[in-house]
Amino acid sequence: MEAIVNVDDLRRAARRRLPKVVFDYLDGGAEGEVTLRENVHSFGDIFFRPRQAVSFPELDLQTTVLGTTISFPALLAPIGYSRLLHPEGERGAARAAGAAGTGYILSTISGYPLEEVKAATSGPAWYQLYLLAGREAAELVLERARTAGFSALVVTVDTPVAGMRERDFRNGMVPLISGSWMSKLPYLPQMFMHPGWVAKYLLDGGLKPLPNVVIPGKGPMELIDVGAALSRTALKWDDFKWIRESWRGPIVVKGVLTGDDARRAIDAGAAAIVVSNHGGRQLDFVQPGLRALPEVLAAVNGQVEVLMDGGIRRGADIIKAICLGARAVLLGRGYAYGMAAAGESGVRRALDIFRNDLTRTMKLLGCGSVRELNASYIEWLHP
């Protein structure tokens, strides 16, 4: 891991370790993947305006999100079924986040029970909600999350259906998850090329039902049912009324890209908003999060905290988002590549890379505190 110097190195390491079908599940986006690419490229449209001849031997990278102090302005985003990438999965990622002094957001589509994940981290943990099995199941899991000590609820609003992720269809994700052995046969050669992953996957017991989506009277939902369940239980703004009644803590609305939806989220009771296009995995040809951020910030006008995600690969990207007005960012693939490459140690390495990038860039920028970053440190190359 010490030979890994940036997130692209982690991506290459993940690609070497994973079968193609699993790597593309992690790496791919919706349809033509235009938004997936633009999420990354949009950061190249912002250049820095540094202050020279200043020195800060000690930097203050801390910030607060929903009243909780984190060591630097980045949290780990929810990644569905991280256990498919590596057996340590969500539990290992949460442990790495806590060790780094930051927060972890657990996806509903988790391979580990939420109680185990919360127990693994020493940092703040939030629970991300999909209504996969309907209201009754959601109310049950919210009570479990509250009892376990999750401090905030993240409600994702951009998944009325699953996006058309073409790589998954081409490379065998559907047969891997739900097909017969006969349907898996065309894809077995790629498995044989990655015996390390296959061995760990089989020793871990393969795909398991979702322990945090418990259907009353039936038990945990099978992973194969997730796509259809999204369509059956699409979330609407009206649902926030009963969600607020079931969850008394702060609610974060994730998946907002317009000022109008930002205002709706505030009306629905949001304490924070995440500007996000789901990592380019849902609707293609929507704005990158970085481009959508100013409109959302203007609509919010300081009423709630605003975070963003999408395309963050370097500490400099975090700084650009903060300069535009984001309170913090969520890291998705930026740490998931590390998870896929080496489990918890890979996530720790990813977080070290982001922190070191952030420290170096802040010093070169001539700014001693994250809280002092503002628009005067940046300029748009193409406004």
Q: Tell me: the pLDDT tens digits for 250-282? A: 999 999 999 999 999 999 999 999 999 999 999
| pLDDT for position 60 | 97
Dist. CA 98–CA 103, nearest whole Å: 7
Helices 315-324 & 289-300, crossing angle to 10 degrees? 30
Share of the chain above pLDDT 70, in %: 96
| pLDDT for position 115 | 98
**Each residue's pLDDT tens digit, 335-382:** 999 999 999 999 999 999 999 999 999 999 999 999 999 999 999 998
User: Which one is predicted more confidently, 250 or 58?
Assistant: 250
Average pLDDT for 72-96: 96
- Give SS3 for 269: coil
| pLDDT for position 232 | 81
Closest by alpha carbon to 12, among 342, 368, 315?
A: 342
Place of tokens 């300029």: 379
37 pLDDT more than 70 = yes
Dist. CA 173–CA 184, nearest whole Å: 9
Q: Are 30 and 163 in contact (CB under 8 A)?
A: yes
pLDDT band at 2 (very low <50, low <70, confident <90, very high): confident
183 pLDDT more than 90 = no
Q: Are 127 and 226 in contact (CB under 8 A)?
A: no
180 pLDDT more than 70 = no
Residue 317: burial class (beta carbons within 10 Å; 0-12, 13-18, 19+): buried
Domains and their CATH numbers in the chain: 7-16+41-164+206-380 (3.20.20.70)
**Each residue's pLDDT tens digit, 170-179:** 887 776 666 5
Average pLDDT for 41-50: 97
Q: Which residues are catalytic?
A: 278
| pLDDT for position 181 | 64
pLDDT band at 169 (very low <50, low <70, confident <90, very high): confident
Residue 164: burial class (beta carbons within 10 Å; 0-12, 13-18, 19+): middle
**Each residue's pLDDT tens digit, 193-228:** 899 998 998 899 888 899 999 988 899 988 776 777
Average pLDDT for 116-132: 96
231 pLDDT more than 70 = yes
109 pLDDT more than 90 = yes
157 pLDDT more than 80 = yes
Dist. CA 122–CA 31, nearest whole Å: 38
Q: How high does pLDDT run on average in the chain?
A: 93
Closest by alpha carbon to 151, among 255, 69, 257, 265?
A: 69
Kindly report which listed range (13-27, 216-230, 242-256, 324-338) carries the lowest average pLDDT score: 216-230
Dist. CA 380–CA 279, nearest whole Å: 22
**CA 209 from centre of chain:** 21
Q: Are 339 and 85 in contact (CB under 8 A)?
A: yes
| pLDDT for position 257 | 98
